[in-house]
Structure 1
Amino acid sequence: MRKRFAIALIFILLMNLTGCAGSASSKETDENTLYVYNWGEYIDPDILTMFTEETGIEVVYDEYETNEIMYPKIKAGAVNYDLVCPSDYMITKMIENDLLQEIDFENIPDHQNIGKEYWKMAEGFDPGNHYAMPYVFGTVGILYNKTMVKEKVDSWGILWDPKYKDEILMQDSVRDAFLVAEKYLGYSLNTTDEDELQESKKLLQQQKELVQAYVIDQVRDKMIGNEAALGVIYSGEAIYTQRENPDLDYVIPKEGTTLWMDCWVIPKNAQHKENAEKFLNFLCRADIAYKNFDYITYSTPNMAARELIEDEDIKNSPIAFPDLSKYDLETQISLGETADRHLNDLWREVKSY
């Protein structure tokens, strides 16, 4: 969800790739094209070039910043993407609204490289594993600078400590911001109970004067640059930040957090399903999945790729591959249109407080 080196929604032209989002409407007549819509910096660009060189299929690649930006575009059908990479709860919403078509896994033999436990996890939002192929997974936790924070960091509560005023970065994402408050209060991150939502909103409003900024990708950059002491971040980004700044550490708070998964799906109006399935099989290949993991640093569910990891620190990293039994973890689910609107209203109240 997540995730993830997100940048403002832009249309980019990658090396050896052709086309742009505006030309997607003409793809019905372009059989050797694949239209992909993904989070920013969420794939190794070399992989797209390699796929084109091996198959002759040109990849037109667009990026989005959040699930909430992606969804209305897919729902409107203004651009016929062949592959999209939403998060768990959004996949449920897309299935419920008949926006996806089933994937033919017989055309993706290398999908067997994905661990069984991750297929089981995906069944929580894609019953029967018909529509979604696991891509990456992870947690949301606290990234902190050990030179600025001397006390033990093990609770979401530290994000309300006045001594860190203007040193705290929060995610500018309604579900990820509310999960922090909800878990700290001991509630489910999927709660729709009005009293619990109001209490979570008030807690976030109380925190606002301590927050330096509500951001997404800037959490990574600001923490690397020692511009903040604490930040809510996705685990994959935490791995990257530690490579750049060894003073940073990541923790899953004792109150628990989300265990999220982003998956590839094929929209209902996709015009190049065969090309999409070829690309998915390519991504599942051990060497390609490993190369991609090394670039994006988000946890891969591809067990064959993990065998190729030579760095023991990464291979045994509790951030990249945590012992999931040690934590209170929930997967975000779709709350429904009415609840989503209400939660967005509450988030606006927090931001405008």
Structure 2
Amino acid sequence: MCRYRSSLNLGISSCLSAWIVTAAADAPTVHVYNWYDYIGPTTLQDFKRDTGIEPVYDTFDSGEVLEAKLMTGHSGYDVVVASNFILPALIKAGALQKLDRSQLPNLKHIDPVLLEKLRANDPDNQYAIPYLWGTDGIGYNVEKVRAVLGEQAPVNSWDLLFKEENLAKLSQCGVGILDAPAEIMPIALHYLGLPPNSSNPDDYKKAEALMLKLRPYITYFNSSKIGSDLANGDICVALT
């Protein structure tokens, strides 16, 4: 899952994911590193059946884990799904190899708008292609949230999470937030009325202060179990 943020008025963060070929290419198996829960249930079996190549598939639950592994060199992965904002660092470090476009006939079917967005971090789309994009938002358990905040709970507003008095009450039933600072900080900036993609350090200090104030009421930061925990009732609100 790659993270491309858009300054939408609703404070939603758009996400763009990229397939990337690393320097470990020529092996009898293909080693893939992807976000947790970002592949179809039969994709690996289908791939092996159709190609005869054995996929070795590992997952991670934060972009920082992925970046650290790739930046050490010799990760052993052939294909990784990375956040687009870390592409410049990976390219500069020589952690990626260029795509062989002659082996990618379906590139012509990829949305040119997504390719253009990816060029901001990978000029000429030499190292990566879009895989997924989506949006971040708030998921909540209707009954539990109403039990804590009442019938007028601000479920259609960022106030649900970013207003301290609301979050303090919601901590009784559990609050989970993505372990993805590059996505959460733009939302915090937007909530404060600041540019989501600000380049002003002072803006980020304000967003940091807000998050530090809210931190005691957040159950955890995690990207892999947040959806299942919300579905199971282990938490009542998720920023995911």
Q: What TM-score does the superposition give when structure 1 sets the normalisation length?
A: 0.54
Q: Cα distance, 1:56 vs. partner?
A: 1.8
Output the CA distance in 2 between the equivalents of 1:65 and 1:163. Answer: 27
**Cα deviation code 1:267-304 (max 9, x no counterpart):** xxxxxxxxxxxxxxxxxxxxxxxxxxxxxxxxxxxxxx
* TM-fit CA distance, 1:31: 4.3
* Aligned match of 2:101: 105
Q: 2:134 maps to what in 1?
A: 138
The answer (yes or no) to whether the contact 1:170–1:214 under 8 Å persists in 2 is yes
Distance 1:209 1:75, change over 3 A: closer
State the distance in 2 between where 1:228 and 1:36 align: 31
- What displacement does 1:202 show? 1.1
Distance change >3 Å, CA 44–CA 224, structure 1 → 2: same
| Equivalent residue number for residue 162 of structure 1 | 165
Distance 2:219 2:165 in 1: 12
1:46 is aligned to 2:46 = no
User: Which residue of 1 is the match for residue 21 of structure 2?
Assistant: none
Separation in 1 of the partners of 2:84 and 2:129? 11
SS in 1 for 2:131: strand
Query: In 2, are the aligned partners of 1:2 and 1:66 still within 8 Å (CA)?
Result: no
CA distance in 2, matches of 1:97, 1:213: 32
Range with greater deviation from structure 2 (118-127 or 134-143): 118-127
Counterparts in 2 of 1:143 and 1:61: CA distance versus 1, 3 Å: same
Q: Residue 184 of structure 2 aligns with which residue?
A: 177
**Shift in Å, 1:86:** 0.2
Partner of 1:204: 211
Partner Cα separation in structure 1 for residue 27 and residue 213 of structure 2: 54
Q: Secondary structure at the match of 1:195?
A: helix
Distance 1:126 1:66 in 2: 21
- Aligned residue pair count: 210
Q: CA deviation at 1:195?
A: 1.7
Q: 1:152 to 1:51 in 2, by over 3 A?
A: same
Shift of the 35–140 alpha-carbon distance from structure 1 to 2, 3 Å rule, reads same
Point out 4+ residue stretches in structure 1 off by more than 4 angstroms: none
Q: Deviations over 1:16-38 (max 9, x none)?
A: xxxxxxxxxxx88x742212111
Per the TM alignment, residue 69 of structure 1 is displaced from its structure 2 partner at its CA by 0.8
* Counterpart in the other structure of 2:123: 127
Correspondence list, 1:253-272, <5 A: none
Q: Structure 1 residue 214: deviation in Å?
A: 2.6
Shift of 1:134: 0.8
- Shift, 1:97, TM fit: 2.7
- Consecutive unaligned residues in structure 2, runs of 5 or more: 4-23
Say if 1:162 and 1:210, in contact at 8 Å, map to a contact too: no
Query: Do the aligned partners of residues 37 and 186 (structure 1) sit closer, same or farther apart at CA in structure 2, a change above 3 Å counting?
Result: same
Contact 1:37–1:85, Cα closer than 8 Å, also in 2: yes
Q: Which residue of 1 aligns with 2:237?
A: 230
Per the TM alignment, residue 68 of structure 1 is displaced from its structure 2 partner at its CA by 1.0
Contact 1:168 1:231 in 2 (8 A): yes
Equivalence for 1:117 = 113
Q: Is the 8 A contact 2:2 2:81 kept in 1?
A: no
Could you tell me which amino acid in structure 2 is paired with residue 162 of structure 1?
Answer: E
2: CA distance between counterparts of 1:227 and 1:80? 36
Q: How big is the alpha-carbon RMSD for the aligned residues of Structure 1 and Structure 2?
A: 2.5
The structure-2 alpha-carbon separation of the partners of 1:59 and 1:181, relative to structure 1 and needing over 3 Å to count, comes to same
Percent of counterpart pairs with the same letter? 27
